[in-house]
Amino acid sequence: MKKSALLFSAIVLLLASCNNKSNTTQNTAATKPLDFIQQLYLFGESADELFTGQLPGDSGGVFGAAYFTKKGNVIYNTMDMDGDTVSYFWGKYTVTDTTITYQLTDEFYYPGKWDARWDAKDPDYKKGKTRKVQPMEVTLHKSKDAWFPLYRPYTAEERKQAAKKFKGTIPFGLVFQPYSETKDMKFYTWFYKQIPALAEL
């Protein structure tokens, strides 16, 4: 099975997991300002601010990943299932007791589909390039939810646009869940090391 199919399945399962949340002894990442460093997050759209109405990644909603490094950098990408170009953005982040704000200033991009094989003889990403982009500033808020310790509420306009993709649902915004890669599902950290511009972040 393709790594991409496994990755997609993992994301869908992960984003659906909040429906099975329980009051366990999970760590609340939001309570310690630096717990998020060197942590991979998968994110998706949520139907409400209480994180109880998670929207699955295969419903046409937004989903992707963010990774915060020790050097104060963030790598961010959104999975565009219909697009013909794959992009990874990066920039710097700053931290307060209640927020993480990052500014994306650079992009690594390559022509191809999001689920193209990375283990092919001549993979698409090998043809990638980097460029500066118009800075994009994003603020994530810390929550006390152990499953989704970071979130970004949508603006009124973003909610209006997002509502067009779902029947009877208006997404509240994006929620971020910590994800630990396993031996058989270790794509992100592997991929970052393949791209010189990302490997040094």
Instruction: Look up residue 192 and give its two tokens.
Output: 């970052």
Amino acid symbol at 150: L
Torsion of CA 185, 188, 193, 199, to 10 degrees: -150
Please determine, for residue 79, whether its predicted confidence score (pLDDT) is greater than 90.
no
Average pLDDT value for the chain: 78
| Site of tokens 């950290």 | 189
Res. 113 pLDDT band, cuts 50 70 90: confident
Please determine, for residue 26, whether its predicted confidence score (pLDDT) is greater than 80.
no
H helix runs in 92-179, sequence order? 156-163
Give me the percent of the chain exceeding a pLDDT of 90.
Answer: 42
Instruction: Look up residue 13 and give its two tokens.
Output: 């399962």
Q: Point out the least confidently predicted range of 5-19, 73-87, 106-120.
A: 5-19
Q: How far apart are CA 143 and CA 31, in angstroms?
A: 8
Please determine, for residue 139, whether its predicted confidence score (pLDDT) is greater than 80.
yes
The 3-state DSSP class for residue 120 equals coil
Average pLDDT score over residue span 71-80 = 92
Average pLDDT score over residue span 86-93 = 96
Taking alpha carbons only, the member of 109, 104, 102, 132 closest to residue 37 is 102
Instruction: Look up residue 6 and give its two tokens.
Output: 């496994």
Give the pLDDT confidence score for residue 6 in this predicted structure.
39
The 3-state DSSP class for residue 100 equals strand
Cα-Cα-Cα-Cα dihedral sign, residues 95, 189, 107, 3: negative
pTM across the whole model: 0.79
